[in-house]
Structure 1
Amino acid sequence: MVFKRFVEIGRVAYVSFGPHAGKLVAIVDVIDQNRALVDGPCTGVKRQAMPFKCMQLTDYVIKVPHSARQKFVRRAWEKAQVNEKWSESSWAKKIEARQKRAKMSDFDRYKVMKAKRMRNKIIKHEVKKLQKEAAKK
């Protein structure tokens, strides 16, 4: 499998930890091998230097020139519809599901357990019914 997510100007990254964890940023300039100048005009992240260890590169790239101003980055971000594409991605959906699961109360976990139990009971009943029909033939 060929690696396709390179650090480049305009690459959108997900901030995995730190004060801006869970937000998207665009790489505006590469400072050195460990840090990049990032900007998140539509996610509330001010322009700042951020280590690559804090970021996970996404598949999305916006078309911006080297050291573009925030206004230009915002326009390119909205034109590329990064927020819409991100919210539709399986990565974002997994993160949202994980957060929803973490916020569940004890009673919510109990309701989920009962629903799973009921679902498994129905599936088991249908499988047995199909096995009986297959055995008759």
Structure 2
Amino acid sequence: MTFTRFVEVGRLVYIDQGKFCGKVAVIYDIIDRNLVMIDGPTTGVSRSVCNVKHIVLTKHTVGIERAATSKQISAALKEEGAMEAFTTSKWGMKIAGQIRRKQLTDFERFQVKLLKQRRAQLLK
């Protein structure tokens, strides 16, 4: 089995640690094998340096050149529809569901519990 996701300019990444945890950004430059420069003009991630250990590579890429500006990145994201492709993927929908579950109120969690119990009884 070969690798298909490489650290490259234009790769969409999911940030799983740090200040922008839970957001999606684009790699716009590579400093060395441990550090990359990311930018997320549509998701609120400011241009910053990020450790490769703090990001997860997605399968989506954007056609940008090295050291692209935020305007170029946002234009490429809109043109190619990479953000929409990520949010409609299984992974993006799973993340959206997790965020929705975190935002539930006590009463909504109680309703979910009752629905799960009812479903279990019907399956039994």
TM (norm. structure 1) is: 0.81
5+ residue gaps, structure 1: 125-137
Query: 1:46 aligns to what?
Result: 46
- The answer as to 2:124 corresponding to 1:118 is no
Aligned CA distance change for structure 1 residues 44 and 107 (closer, same or farther; 3 Å): closer
Paired residue type of 1:68: A
- Which structure: larger Rg? 1
CA shift, 1:57, in A, is 0.5
Q: Does residue 16 of structure 2 align to residue 7 of structure 1?
A: no
Distance 2:84 2:2 in 1: 27
Counterpart amino acid of 2:21? Answer: A
Deviation by residue 1:23-73 (Cα, 9 ceiling, x = unmatched): 111111110111011111211222221111111110111001121222211
SS in 1 for 2:77: helix
Match of 1:73 in 2: 73
> Counterpart of 1:38 in 2: which secondary structure?
strand
The alpha carbon displacement at 1:109 in A equals 2.8
**Structure-1 separation of matches of 2:36 and 2:121:** 53
CA distance in 2, matches of 1:99, 1:72: 29
Query: AA paired with 1:69?
Result: T
Instruction: Give 1:99 shift.
Output: 2.3
CA distance in 2, matches of 1:39, 1:123: 47
Give the AA of the match of 1:42: T
Q: Secondary structure at the match of 1:76?
A: helix
Partner secondary structure for residue 8 of structure 1 = coil
Work out the CA distance in 1 between the residues paired with 2:102 and 2:68. Answer: 38
**SS of corresponding position for 1:20:** coil
Q: What residue ranges of structure 2 are gaps of 5+ in the alignment?
A: none
Q: If the length of structure 2 is used for normalisation, what is the TM-score?
A: 0.88
Q: How far off is 1:19 after superposition?
A: 1.1
Match of 1:96 in 2: 96
Please report how far the alpha carbon of residue 7 of structure 1 lies from its aligned counterpart in structure 2 after TM superposition: 0.3
Provide the aligned length of Structure 1 versus Structure 2.
Answer: 124
Q: Distance in 1 between matches of 2:81 and 2:25?
A: 13
More helix by share: 1
